[in-house]
Amino acid sequence: MTIQTIVVPDLGGAETVEVIELGLSPGDSIEVEDSLLVLESDKATMDIPSPAAGALVKYLVAEGATVKVGDPIAEIEVAGEATAETPEVEDIEQVVHEPAAEVIAEVVEETEAKVSPVEAAASSSVEQLILIPDIGSDDKVELIEISIAVGDEVAEGDTLVVLESDKATMDVPSTHSGKVLKILVAEGAKLGTGDAVALFEVAGEAAAPIDQQSAPVAQESAPVVAEPENEKPVAKAAPAAAAAAKVTSAADSIQSAPGQPAQPASVAVQPVAATDGASLYAGPAVRLIARELGVSLSQVQGTGPRGRILKDDVSNFVKQVMKNKDAPAASANGGSGIPVVPAIDFSQFGKIEELSMSKIQRLTAANMQRNWLNVPHVTQFDDADITELEAFRKGLKAEGEKRGVRVTPVAFLIKAIAAALEANPEFNRSLAADGQSLIQKHYCHVGMAVDTPRGLMVPVIRDVNEKGIWDISAEISLLAGKARDGKLKPAEMQGGCFTLSSLGAIGGNGFTPIVNAPEVGILGVSKSQIKPVWDGSEFVPRLLLPMALSYDHRAINGGDAGRFMTHLVKLLSDIRYLAL
Ligand code: CAO
């Protein structure tokens, strides 16, 4: 028996990383490639695998520690002598991997060299087959997520699909900018380097026509069968030739998203992925377990650093579900114990068609159900008299045109919400995950529900308390535009303290919004209407804005909500108070 010291391997460019998960206990046996611990840079998390079978003697670092390449991190006891395979720093450095940007640039360059004819197309736009670039392995891996839809405008570097092997989850970036004409793969398909993913329309200068580009691909691949755009894509695209060139010096690397470090094959990379404002943040091993158990990670509360989902979180979730399975419906938590809506064959009643839900729609559905089941909602209603506010807003039109900023009532609502949050800090709190304390926030970020063709998105306007109406208006346009174009970055959907959902431009007298947990309050605003209001001596026409405030009754009392709403009504009815 020999004691072997494990050191931090090449980090593909990252100088230092944090130890975020020590998954084993001293004495635990390990197999080759089993995850010893998890490191995290600002871009990726990495499972560090064991180079040999044996048992963990001890960790040499603690969770939260910052380490760099070559630092000793663990000791394992292995049978026989420590071998040359031990990942000493020198050995690992022999397979040093190029930074992702270089790797990707080389892949793209070589791919283009292979697929582009000498004469680039002269037309203004051409069709371009988009292939999987080198993924550092000849193996086929499973496609677990399609991140684009027909009609999307995709920028070079945007995520096309997510692939998952038993070691890593990989975001596959697009090698071209363009519009998605067709998706050639389906979730569950096995894909590898060079396989066709989609057909893009791209600017003509940079790309070659599809018939020329795909020629070498077609020789070794089944024909890409055209299908109607509105049909669910199926895994028809057979493996294409390995058109994407190998990056020889990074042959073992797993390519990550642009700007992220390439990692050794034995280091599993999971980019910090966020999907709906609530990020699904988990390493590949956790994702694998979740998939094996059929657990949707969007339902699991992460207890690791920065909300990372750990193996224990998944197993605790499963335990909780099993515990609640036989409990009476009244004890339902997170959806279990609730009688299931029966599956019905609707075709027996008439013609039907099955429409697949977008990723955003599925995540929204899961979040809504989670929030509806977990949060005891109360909704309070009131009308704000915005007669003067609207007169003032309309008076800003000419200046707005000069500044190129459109001011809608939503900007005043967001500003008023920030002032009401400052005056009523109960609404700027979240319940701690264990339900035993409240987190008071001393920042003021307000989320805004945006209706998009792909589903509901909630970008967040930051530090609203420090901004004026012009800046807020400009941000509303910018973020709502990005949301509609599918261009929001995960960080732009995170950190909200409170959400505004305005259906004012659409219509309706009122609705009861669902709290966007872990926030504790949400304001739903409907269409303003002129109504007769008694002023003490006569009815006068006033413009009234119907508002509904839903809140989490675990964190907020009715009195708090009454005060918040009354304050909001006062601010909107006389916006001079906003200046105080
Ligand atoms: N009453 C009457 N008119 C209103 C209004 C209200 N409460 N709110 C906005 N309007 C008017 C605006 O003033 C604008 O008219 P003018 O150009 O004449 O001034 C018009 O409606 C269109 O506004 P808009 O929708 O372009 O911009 P906005 O700032 O009002 O809204 C946004 C931005 C992103 C909130 C909105 O576009 C949106 O997506 N709303 C839907 C939110 C949603 O889906 N909520 C449900 C979520 S599920 O709980």
The predicted-structure confidence for 30-46, as pLDDT tens digits, reads as follows: 888 888 888 877 666 77
pLDDT at 303 over 50: yes
Q: β-pairing, 66-68 with 72-78?
A: unpaired
Domain 359-579: CATH architecture, name and number where available: 2-Layer Sandwich (3.30)
CATH architecture of 2-99+251-269: Beta Barrel (2.40)
Q: Check whether 184 has a pLDDT greater than 80.
A: yes
Amino acid 306: pLDDT = 65
Q: Indicate the pLDDT class of residue 104, thresholds 50, 70 and 90.
A: very low
pLDDT score of 277: 32
Ligand 1 environment, Cβ below 6 A: 408-410, 448-451, 456, 476, 480, 501-505, 513, 525, 527-528, 545
Whole-number pLDDT of residue 370: 94
Does residue 112 carry a pLDDT above 60? no
> What's the Rg (C-alpha) of the chain?
27
The answer to whether the beta carbons of residues 269 and 44 sit under 8 Å apart is yes
Q: Which residue has the higher pLDDT, 235 or 481?
A: 481
What's the confidence (pLDDT) of residue 530?
98
**Ligand 1 atom at minimal distance to the Cα of residue 394:** 19
Joined together, the tokens standing for residue 342 give 């029966």
Quote the pLDDT of residue 43. 63
The DSSP letter of residue 436 is S
Average pLDDT value for residue range 101-119: 39
Q: Please tell me the distance from the alpha carbon of residue 108 to that of residue 112, in angstroms, as a whole number.
A: 6
What is the percentage of the chain residues whose pLDDT exceeds 70? 74
- Residue 7 DSSP label: E
Q: Average pLDDT for residues 106-131, to the nearest whole number?
A: 54
Whether the predicted pLDDT of 305 surpasses 80: no
Rounded Cα distance, 580 and 334, in Å: 42
Q: Report how far residue 129's alpha carbon sits from residue 146's, in angstroms, rounded to the nearest whole number.
A: 16
Residue 331: φ, ψ to 5°: -95, 15
How high is the pLDDT of residue 285?
Answer: 75
Backbone phi, psi, residue 169, to 5°: -110, 130
Question: Does 270 score more than 80 pLDDT?
Answer: no
Check residue 325 and give its pLDDT: 60
How far apart are the CA of 529 and the centre of ligand 1, in A? Answer: 14
Distance 190 CA to ligand 1 centre (A): 43
Question: Which of the two residues, 250 and 527, has the higher pLDDT score?
Answer: 527
Strand-pairing partners, residue 130, are 198
DSSP class of 423: H
Instruction: Give, using CA atoms, the residue closest to atom 34 of ligand 1.
Output: 450
Calpha distance 234→255 (Å, rounded): 25
Using CA positions, which residue lies closest to atom 23 of ligand 1?
505
User: Is the pLDDT reported for residue 91 higher than 80?
Assistant: no
What pLDDT, on the 0 to 100 scale, is given for residue 96?
A: 28
Taking the C-alpha atoms of residue 380 and residue 339, their distance in angstroms, rounded to an integer, is 29
Distance 527 CA to ligand 1 centre (A): 9
337-365 pLDDT, tens per residue? 778 888 899 999 999 999 999 888 999 99
Whose CA is closest to atom 36 on ligand 1? 450
36 token code pair: 């010893």
Average of pLDDT values for 124-149? 83
The whole-number average pLDDT for the span 544-566 is 98
Q: What is the pLDDT of residue 568?
A: 98
Distance CA 139, CA 126 (A): 31
Q: What confidence category does residue 552 fall into, taking pLDDT thresholds of 50, 70 and 90? A: very high
Q: Give residue 324's pLDDT.
A: 62
Residue 381 is predicted with a pLDDT of 98
Judge whether residue 77 has pLDDT over 60.
yes
Q: With 80 as the cut, is the pLDDT of residue 212 above it?
A: no
- Tell whether the torsion through CA atoms of 550, 553, 555 and 559 is positive or negative: positive
Q: What is the pLDDT of residue 280?
A: 66
Report pLDDT for 440: 98
pLDDT reading at 139 higher than 60: yes
The DSSP string of 240-287 is PP--SPP-GGGTT-B--STTSPPB-TTSEEEE--BSSSSB--B-HHHH
Q: Report, at the CATH architecture level, how domain 113-237 is classified.
A: Beta Barrel (2.40)
- Mean pLDDT computed over 366-393: 97
Can you give the three-state secondary structure of 190-221, one letter per residue?
EECCCCEEEEEEEEHHHCCCHHHHCHHHHHHC
The span from the CA of 108 to the CA of 242, in Å, is: 13
Say whether pLDDT at 417 is over 60: yes
Burial class (CB in 10 A: 0-12, 13-18, 19+), 453: exposed
pLDDT at 384 over 90: yes
Smallest CA-to-CA distance from 244 within 147, 128, 135, 171 is with 135
pTM over 0.75: no
Predicted pLDDT of residue 163: 81
- Tell me the residue ranges of DSSP E strands in 102-188: 125-131, 141-146, 153-154, 159-164, 169-173, 178-183
Q: What percent of the chain has pLDDT over 90?
A: 42
Whether the CB-CB separation of 522 and 498 falls below 8 Å is answered with yes
Which of 165 and 443 is assigned the larger pLDDT?
A: 443
Q: Which atom of ligand 1 is nearest to the CA of 411?
A: 29
Using the mean position of ligand 1's atoms as its centre, give its distance from the Cα of residue 404 in Å: 18
Query: CATH topology of 2-99+251-269 equal to that of 113-237?
Result: yes
Q: Are 478 and 528 in contact (CB under 8 A)?
A: no
pLDDT at 557 over 80: yes
Average pLDDT, the chain: 78
Residues identified as active-site: 553
* pLDDT the model gives residue 365: 94
Q: Would you list the domain boundaries of the chain?
A: 2-99+251-269, 113-237, 359-579
Please report which confidence band the pLDDT of residue 385 belongs to, taking 50, 70 and 90 as the band edges.
very high
> Cα(362)–Cα(452) distance, rounded to whole angstroms?
14
* Token pair of 480 as six digits: 């709502």
Rounded to a whole number, what is the distance in angstroms from the first to the last CA of the chain? Answer: 74
Can you tell me the mean pLDDT for 498-509?
97
Least confident segment among 4-18, 271-285, 377-391, 544-558: 271-285
Q: What is the pLDDT of residue 295?
A: 87
Which residue's CA is the nearest one to ligand 1's atom 17?
408
Q: Grade residue 241 by pLDDT with cuts at 50, 70 and 90.
A: very low
